[in-house]
Amino acid sequence: MKPKKILLALTLLLSVWVQKISSQESDGVSTPQELLSIAISDENLWSELEMNPNEVSKIYLLDHGVVLNLPENFTINGIPFEIIQKNQVESIGDFPMVRVHTLNIEEDKALVRIYLSKKSNGIEYNSNAEFQFTKQNLAWVLTNKL
């Protein structure tokens, strides 16, 4: 009977270990990309600027101190993103630009604050939103948007 109990204990430990590894993998590199994709794709954010994300060929993402940990060829719905520095902002023309103000990811909740801006006839227009997420069954779910 003891070998069965030992085998059961080892099986349970292995199961917990595999779940923990799986959870860590889902919190890895894909998490910032997943959360930002949901936030940046928000229709209300774009409609405030009278824009449709499907009508733009590129979106700039301002790197200003928030660690994003994104892949080199980051896209959302097929639209490529180019990460730029502050000194490059004037050179992007009328393309939309996203600035991530806050990207706070914890074990089971996350907060994303972003600003979307565009220039038209030399005037800059801005829209912003805050997105709160909770993790449910290893997937991020949008629970509140301000």
**Domain limits, the chain:** 28-145
Q: Smallest Cα–Cα separation from 128: which of 106, 144, 113? A: 113
- Count the Cβ atoms, other than its own, within 10 Å of residue 144: 10
pTM of the model: 0.75
pLDDT at 94: 86
- Least-confidence region, from 17-21, 86-90, 118-122: 17-21
Q: 28 falls in which pLDDT band (50, 70, 90)?
A: very low
114, 100 Cβ separation under 8 angstroms = yes
